[in-house]
Structure 1
Amino acid sequence: MPQGPSTPPAGQAEIAAFVQDCWRRETARPLPVIVLLGRPGSGKTYALDHFAREAAGGITARIDFAPLPVQRPYELAVHLAFLLSRKHPGVRPPRFPRLMLGLLALSLGDLPLDNREAARKRLKSALSQARGSAAVDALEAAGGFIDELGLSPVPHLELAAGLLVRGFTHLPVATALNRALVGYGQGSTQAGIDALIDLNRRHRTGIAADAALVDRGLCEVFLDDLATSFGGRRRLYNCLALLDDIDRPHITAFLELLAQLRAEKARSGLYDPLLIVATAATTRAVPGPSDGSPDDPHISTPDTLSYDAWRTRPDAAPPHWWCPVRLRDLDEVEVTLEATRYEKERAGRTGRPEPWVLPATTPLIHRLTYGHPWSVRTLHEVLAGLREGGPAESDLRGLLSVRPPGQGVPLAHVVRDRLLTGLTADQQEAALLIATARTPKSAVNAGLLNDQPEHARDTLMRELRERLWLSRRVPEDAHTRGGRGPSGYLLPRAGARGAGAVDTTFDTQPVLHPWLRLLLLDRLKDPTSGSLERWRQLHEVLASWHARHQQPLDALYHRLARGELSSVVDHFGLGLADGDLIPWLRELYHVTAAPMYPAWLSDEPPQRRATELARELAPDAYADERLGRPLAELCAALWLAGDPRNRLPLGHPELNHKISAKLRQLAMVAEADADTLLDEAERYTD
């Protein structure tokens, strides 16, 4: 029996509950093919680890397909049967006599196909020999070796054929064989023999259509054997197959065939007891129109999962027997819990008391990674090693430049390489250009990829989408920039400001995952991959494109990225005369979310650096102490606040005080809506 519950990985409680619901065997019922979709490092393998612990002692099979060779569907069925039939204390495993008869028939290369009677005799002789003691001994030895090493190799056909013996040693040979043959002959053992001979013939023709029929026939008896094994006994749980890395086409073809067979059998009310939980790093692993976009209706989200909500019906089409689920990132509370758990684990390993430093770093870790699970864990490991678990502000500000133990490159390089797994070198280079734009769509439309290799230009956007690297737009108001109050400034409003202009603060186009974008921009700033001149040239292309398409806010966004702070100050200085400054604030956050090149940073505290940036990049405005200077310093401070590493110390960011003070100064000179600015200043007050 299963050994009991374990704690699911952070962010996966809803998925664990759904799998548990499907796994429990209340009665024979349809079961989905659950596919956990996630980017590299999203916790797919951790999820399977959890389910393996939950099901320990039950009828389970786990296969990691990454290191395995290409297999035909019937070989994958044999592989699963081999693992599911292993012995467990107190549990009678399923038997696969029909599958093994078919497999044995395939292995007979000397079957005389031109003489039906001779073929029958040869096949009957081979079936009798399969019950010999040598087959039993070989199978038991192989099974013990596999269990010792924890391996899941592809079983050799001759060893797999020995599975026929297990569970039938107490029966006469004729009884064991006859029961299995009935499944092939639809009630007649003689017809069963003929069906096996026909299976052998198709296997040897080398014709694709015949090979497909062989695969279909053996996969069907695999499911039939499973159903028969569960038919006569009361069981609390179904079988559980945990399949890692199913992205390769031959594995998807196998699962599609199983779904097809299930859909056909369901028309007669027949259901097998196999629950499949698989993982994939791309939506190409699931059938249908799923493409990985943030709001893809064909991919479930963890908060909507339940057996009752699953779309499958007894008469549903095969693709509806799949249940693709997109793994989510961790929220801020979960990042804190992970920090606490990590410190407890570390204390257990080292014997030292927990310093309780990591939970306090949650605001920084969560805003940097946006809760990407592997990245959260990696940053916790690096932080725990800094100054014996007590990192200083300078350590936090330079976190991505730290070289992790055993790594010869900075942390940013290590994480970026992990996140970009699966993309070719030319696609990774093209992704650098995509990252400079607010949305990937605008980068493509502005022609940033025109000079890239054809392969990268034609495939990058599809790869980013199918590898789940496109996310919903991140709001850019005070709530996400360091303020304390609720968010809401990006709610749509009727009309647009400016004659013929488009208010792009309401743009719902998907964006690159913010963590990946930050890491790509970090590389673009590296002298080996770019320069300030290249940085400015790319943002000039984007600014000009947005200006031509009447999108002044996005044009200003890229002007600011170029360092043209004075243009931004001039624009927002004119808007302070409006009677309603909520749209003004929304636009201000939108523009000041622009990325910043490291040349404009220094080792000085961000609060002081905001003043220096205002003086250096907007000197004319800075000379106006009444309006220009506080507005320039506010824009510079918000620009700096776009990177959470500039919002230190944690819990009491100095930039918050700067932003609040400048908003209050502007409220004193606003002509019609000072209250909005004062309310906004309050949101930055501790």
Structure 2
Amino acid sequence: MASEVRPLVGLAAVTHGLVDHLVSRPDGESRPLPVVVALGARGTGKTALLDTVAARCADIPHARLDFERHDRAGSRPRELLGQLAFDLSRQWKQFGRLAFPRLWLCMLVLGAPVELQDRRAALRKLHALVAKNQPLEQNREAIVDVVRLAGGIAPAGGLQGWPEATDLLLRGLSWYDRRRLVGKMRALPAGAGNHEDFLLEIAKRAQGDDEDREAVDATFCDAFLADLRRAYTGLNRSRRTLNSLVLLDNAHTEGGRLLLSALTEARRRSGEADPLVVLATSREWNPEWNESWSLLTPHRGAPEHRRPTTHRTSGLSWPAPRQPADVDGDWRPEPSRPDPRWHPWYLLELGTLSKDDVVALAAGREIHPASRLPGFLHRLTDGHPGAVTDVVAAVAHRYDPRRPGALRTALRTRLDDAGPDLLTAMRDYLLQDFTTASRPDLVTASAALDVEMLFHKEILDLRNPAGEGVLFKELGDHLWLRAEPAVSPQYVLHPLLRRILLQELASRADDHPLSWTRVHTRCRDFYEKNGRVVAARYHDLALENVAAAVAHLREPFGEAREFDLPTAETWLAELDVITAAPNRLAKAAEPYDQVQRHAGEGDDDLGTQLAWLVVALWIARDPLGDPGGTLDSTIEGGFHQLAQGRGRGSILLHERAERYR
């Protein structure tokens, strides 16, 4: 997929309303703010969101990290805080220069090349470090080296009294000027404990066990937030009218998770509000959200689903990640106490553009809103932002409303002389989060109606040695699952990902042990055996067995049965399920010719009517099957014809026909 900045549509409530609310400082005071995390699978516009926010907030103190660049994915929080502080401490027009004296001292001590086995030598070195009487903010290269030179001896045991020592450090450092560290270590006030020993202890424990390293990270977080709070007090309060902003891209990495966890824990530990807005992105689920947020969110229009162990506080059920459309309602002017559901995290799910959003994006390519192309794009991609952007860029200049079938050719055109075609490039981009071993299983599993089939290894012959649960978790963690409406919600693959996987399944050779025919036959037989007849007919249609689908769908039209409204509702629902079956028909053929070939002539008029309607719907529901909507009149006529003399239920058939007028 293209790597350039993507046009951003449908997110004004986030980039303007939410961001404006977060950076504001009512009455010039800091207030408790959650860490905002924008979630979404690959290509859902997370980086574009940060680009837009960064541009809007260009004149306020802000910093940005991308954890998948510059080897930051596995960095410790203390190193990352140094990078953030460097950017925040630049000279900002109105806000001046934010200072981080506590943090700088921690960094210098951590990286000091002192011999920690010789305490006297180590103290002399520390004295020299802070005696240079230079603004530490100007020594960027030296401070960067600090985090690379952290040395010392491994501790023999755990560090005791860490919270008290941290508090002592922060209170002691408050004696220093906020812009620079001058003088000698003896300027630190004497008292309970020894500040020099404590500072040396930071360098030692940074190379200790996990518990010691986390304690050092906690000290750095305390120092970072304490410096920020102080920077917004005193004489600077009047000109620092907006909060500072930190943007963290791809925070699902190890380094990102550690930093977010350390920041939220430091906030909880201090109990004080700070002037920092944190906006992060993630394409994976973080287990720290399990207790307060639901992982798998329902499809649009589906009833909300939560885990059986839903966490409740004050009678409030914690929700699924919020949609952009929810933001304005969630962040109305706060009452005296902020909504507890949004602390310490506020999760925002990206990834689905509405039809209007797609129209707006296509209009940027000078495509008329009334043309069929935006509708085609939305159906093909299910509103996936990255896919919509790439497809419209590839086909916009080739789109000819008189030749809608040319869209299928455009999608198979190479992006350059040596590169892959667009659909292949899209496949490679979206599947890169999955291991090589799991991809064949994903392709096989895409044949099923829902991911329940993942738990029937005897059907799909899954090859993952760790079991089917791992693949299900992998799909969920990478945010590629949806919950469809049902009494017990059915989890399905994201339509775009499934469409790509089905193309891979269709390309398997006929003698492949898990070819298209063999997999769909296994699925059909499984559903038939378990009494799920409609699902079985779905797979029959995927196998081009039109007769089996028609035989089932004609049952309610028998002479002994009344086609009333409940019967019509049930029949239309079954028709929708069956005709949603995937196909591997030739995409170059004309849609009407395909209908004529596969429907043919039935044994009677009813059989023929149903066959033509079923096949026409089957082809039309595939976005690549009939991008020009040439079968709409065939489908409309089919419903009207079938409705003749059918009793009260015919009303619903006539209504359905009107959709295709």
Distance 1:674 1:358 in 2: 31
Distance 1:435 1:170 in 2: 59
Find 2:199's aligned residue among 196, 200, 203: 196
CA contact (8 A) 2:6 2:45 kept: no
The 1:208–1:431 alpha-carbon spacing in structure 2 relative to 1, beyond 3 Å, is closer
Equivalent residue number for residue 393 of structure 1: 404
User: What aligned pairs does 1:532-543 form with structure 2 within 5 A after superposition?
Assistant: 534-543=515-524
Contact 1:32 1:312 in 2 (8 A): no
Query: Structure 1 pair 433/224, CA: closer, same or farther in 2 (3 Å)?
Result: same
- Counterpart Cα distance in 2 of 1:273 and 1:598: 59
Deviation of 1:301 after TM superposition, in Å, equals 2.6
Aligned to 1:486: none
Q: Deviation of residue 92 (structure 1)?
A: 1.4
Q: 1:634 is aligned with what amino acid? A: L
1:432 Cα offset (Å): 0.8
**Aligned position for 1:502:** none
Greater share of helix residues, 1 or 2?
1
CA distance 1:458–1:675, shift in 2 (3 Å): closer
Q: Any idea what the Cα deviations from partners look like across 1:101-150, whole Å, max 9, x if unmatched?
A: 1222223343566657x755543332112x248x77654xx59xxxxxxx
Correspondence for 1:15: 14
CA–CA separation in structure 1 for the residues paired with 2:196 and 2:30: 30
TM-score normalised by structure 2 residue count:
0.81
RMSD of Structure 2 on Structure 1 (CA): 3.6
Structure 1 residues 58-67 or 320-329, which shifts more?
320-329
Say which of 475, 478, 493 aligns to 1:467: 478
Which whole-Å CA distance do the structure 1 matches of 2:637 and 2:180 have between them? 88
- Aligned-pair CA distance for 1:508: 3.0
CA offset at residue 534 of structure 1? 2.1
Residue number in structure 2 paired with 1:156: 145
State the SS of the aligned residue for 2:99: coil
Q: Which residue is equivalent to 1:25?
A: 25
Deviation at 1:423, TM superposition (A): 0.7
Aligned mates of 2:51, 2:98 — CA distance in 1 = 23
- Quick one: which amino acid aligns to residue 582 of structure 1? E
Residue in 2 aligned with 1:151? none
Deviating more after overlay: 451-460 vs 325-334 = 451-460
- 1:314-333 alignment to 2 at 5 Å? 320-333=343-356
Q: How far is the alpha carbon of 1:520 from its aligned partner?
A: 1.1
Q: What CA distance in whole angstroms lies between the structure 2 residues aligned with 1:315 and 1:472?
A: 27
Matching residue within 54, 72, 91 for 2:76: 72
Residue 482 of structure 1 corresponds to none
Partner letter of residue 253 of structure 1? Answer: L
Query: Which moved further from structure 2: 415-424 or 10-19?
Result: 10-19
Aligned length: 597
Question: Alpha-carbon deviation of 1:271?
Answer: 1.5
Bigger mean CA deviation after superposition, 361-370 or 213-222: 213-222
Q: In the alignment, what sits opposite 1:588?
A: 575
SS of the residue aligned with 1:275?
strand
- Counterpart of 2:302 in structure 1 is none
Aligned partner of 2:640 in structure 1 is 664
The residue number in structure 1 matching 2:110 is: 106
Aligned equivalent of 1:245: 250
- Specify the SS of the correspondent of 1:271: coil
1:660 shift after superposition: 1.7
Report how far residue 467 of structure 1 moved: 1.0
Q: Give me the whole-angstrom Cα distance separating, in 1, the residues matched to 2:434 and 2:245.
A: 32
CA distance 1:587–1:356, shift in 2 (3 Å): closer
Query: Superposed, which structure 2 residues align to 1:404-483 within 5 Å?
Result: 404-406=415-417, 408-445=419-456, 447-455=458-466, 457-473=468-484
* Aligned equivalents of 1:664, 1:108: Cα separation in 2: 83
Mapped partners of 2:654, 2:179: distance in 1: 86
Quote the offset at 1:7 in angstroms: 12
Check conservation: 1:436, 1:443, Cα contact below 8 A: no
Q: Which amino acid aligns with 2:25?
A: R
Query: What amino acid is aligned across from residue 12 of structure 1 in structure 2?
Result: L
Q: Does 1:646 find its partner at 2:625? A: yes
- Residue 85 of structure 1 deviates from its aligned partner by 0.7
> Corresponding residue for 1:633?
612
Normalised by the size of structure 1, how large is the TM-score?
Answer: 0.79
Aligned residues of 2:371 and 2:401 also touching (Cα < 8 A): no
Structure 1: stretches of 5+ with no match in the other structure: 1-5, 144-153, 344-354, 475-504
Q: Is the alpha carbon distance of 1:197 and 1:75 closer, same or farther for their aligned partners in structure 2, counting shifts above 3 Å?
A: same
- Give the direction of change, closer, same or farther, for the CA distance of 1:98–1:74 in structure 2 (3 Å limit): same
Asked if structure 1 preserves the Cα contact closer than 8 Å seen for 2:114 and 2:122, the reply is no
Return the letter of the residue paired with 1:592.
Answer: T
Separation in 2 of the partners of 1:246 and 1:657?
A: 50
Alpha-carbon shift at residue 245 of structure 1 (Å):
1.1
* Distance in 2 of aligned mates of 1:507 and 1:561: 25
Q: 1:529 to 1:242 in 2, by over 3 A?
A: farther
The answer to whether structure 1 residue 519 and structure 2 residue 500 are counterparts is: yes
| Distance in structure 1 (CA, Å) of the matches to 2:426 and 2:336 | 38
Q: Secondary structure at the match of 1:214?
A: helix
Separation of aligned partners in 2, 1:110 and 1:209: 23
- State the alpha-carbon separation in 2 of the partners of residues 321 and 682 from structure 1: 49
Aligned counterparts of 1:226 and 1:300: Cα–Cα separation in 2? 29
Quick one: distance in 2 between partners of 1:462 and 1:667?
Answer: 45
2: CA distance, partners of 1:310 / 1:406 = 56
Given the alignment of the two structures, is residue 125 of structure 1 paired with residue 128 of structure 2, yes or no?
yes
Structure 2 unaligned residues grouped into runs of 5+: 151-172, 299-305, 307-318
Distance 1:394 1:532 in 2: 33
Question: Percent identity between the aligned chains?
Answer: 29
Cα distance, 1:437 vs structure 2: 0.7
Paired residue type of 2:23: W
How far, CA to CA, are the matches of 1:58 and 1:155 in structure 2? 24
1:562 alignment partner in structure 2: 543
SS of 1:156's equivalent? helix
Asked if structure 1 preserves the Cα contact closer than 8 Å seen for 2:556 and 2:563, the reply is no
- The whole-number CA distance in structure 2 between the counterparts of 1:634 and 1:396 is 24
Which residue of structure 2 aligns with residue 612 of structure 1? Answer: 597
Q: Is the 8 A contact 1:138 1:159 kept in 2?
A: no
Q: 5 Å matches for 1:497-516? A: 508-516=489-497
User: Residue in 1 aligned with 2:315?
Assistant: none
After TM superposition, give the deviation of residue 663 of structure 1 in Å. 1.9
